[in-house]
Amino acid sequence: MEKQMANWRIGTLFRRRLSRFWSEQWKVWRTALDWTVWVYFILPLLWIGGGTYVDLWHHPADWLVKLPLWTGERLPLVVIFVGRLRTFTEEADVLFLLQKQSWGRGLLRRGAVYTALMLLVLTALVYVLLFPFFLAVHHFPASAIIAMVLYTWMWAMIGAMGRNIIEARFIGFRKWAMKTAAMLLLAATYLIPMIVLGTSPLDLLVPILAGAVAAVLLLRLKLRARDAFESDVQQEQLARLASTQLLLRNVIRRKPRVKLSRPILLRRSNRIFKKFDGETILGEMIIKAFIRRLPLVRTWLIFIFLSAAAVLLSPGVIKPFVAVALMLLLSSWVISHWRGMTAEPYFKQFRWTDAALRDSAKRVRFWLVVPAAALFGLIDGMQTYGPGGFVAIVPGVLIWLLICNLVSSTMLLRTERKEEEA
């Protein structure tokens, strides 16, 4: 056993894992790219795309000429945002690589070199596709293109290692927030030097050197990081299965994940109303269920804001009528939510009286529409009377209370008749 281990080197282990990775990727793509796909899709696409590329090089289209220069300078941001540090870590490494730290660091260094080479190829490919824009239209010198490639490559390495470190150190909302902040910071630090300094080699020399120093520091930070093994294993599994997930994303039906999370509002089951009769308890439960469901609240807010804009833009004579119509429209949606909730098995197991159902619907309608009524009254009053129109909130609420008392009984009576006929 010791003799076999002596024949192993970290370079040998890395080469075996690298060759196995590409062998797996080839097997995956070979199942999808048969001769029919090559003949009918890939080869015609390459023929048409290559001809279009050559034509744009010799005869740039009008739309390409009219594009501003900053369009081409920002497209390479894609490389910076998609880069992923490859560590080639596997679950079985916990048995020996964590004990031989020199092997773990050696594997990580080789993974970083492999990542750098792949990002360099991807960066060069992006700029090759942009050659008609930079060379044929804007006549950039070759030295400027090389400087931009190196500059983008450095920032792609920074992004890949930074995302890897964030994945290992943060979880949940903090990880999302840190990744978003890192993405914005990368975009800002990448674009500002090109805008302020320029794109010539001398202009980008200092940013390239600064990016190289930052990449080396991030690599040293990654080499010294602890408790990153599980994160590296998960990210490697995602990298190995990326092609499979891409090909099978519309084939396999995914079971919906049951995600349990505490609501943002009303996290505790405290009472909203003081009464303990049936209609109050039922209305309170339905209102709580509405407020705790973020998609419903989002739709509710969007409708109110759009309706407020409609009231704001309406002529003064018809403002009250527009407000009343929008309140009735919102109340019909609220009533549909009430019907759906009362049809749930949990609510149907209780024997609610007709009066309790009717009064609970009235309560739900009033409290979920009254904010819109107050906002409409405020808009109408402020536009008509100026700052003193703030008190128009009270008439708006009173008008909605009157409408709620007059209309709800008729709508619910129609619902009860439909249920009896069914």
Phi, psi angle pair for 48, to nearest 5°: -70, -45
Closest CA to 219 of 339, 114, 328: 114
State residue 6's pLDDT score.
45
Phi, psi angle pair for 328, to nearest 5°: -65, -40
Instruction: Using alpha carbons only, give the angle 323, 329, 331 rounded to the nearest 5 degrees.
Output: 100
State residue 209's pLDDT score.
94
State residue 420's pLDDT score.
46
State residue 90's pLDDT score.
84
State residue 290's pLDDT score.
81
Return d(Cα 359, Cα 37) in angstroms, integer.
64
State residue 251's pLDDT score.
60
Return d(Cα 361, Cα 353) in angstroms, integer.
12
- Measured between alpha carbons, how far is residue 95 from residues 98, 104, 337, 363 in Å? 7, 12, 55, 63
Q: Which residues in the chain show pLDDT less than 70?
A: 1-8, 97-98, 249-272, 276, 278, 407-422
State residue 357's pLDDT score.
78
State residue 2's pLDDT score.
46
How would you label 61-96 residue by residue, b for 16+ Cβ within 10 Å and e otherwise? eeeeeeeeeeebbeebbebbeebbbbbbbeeebeee
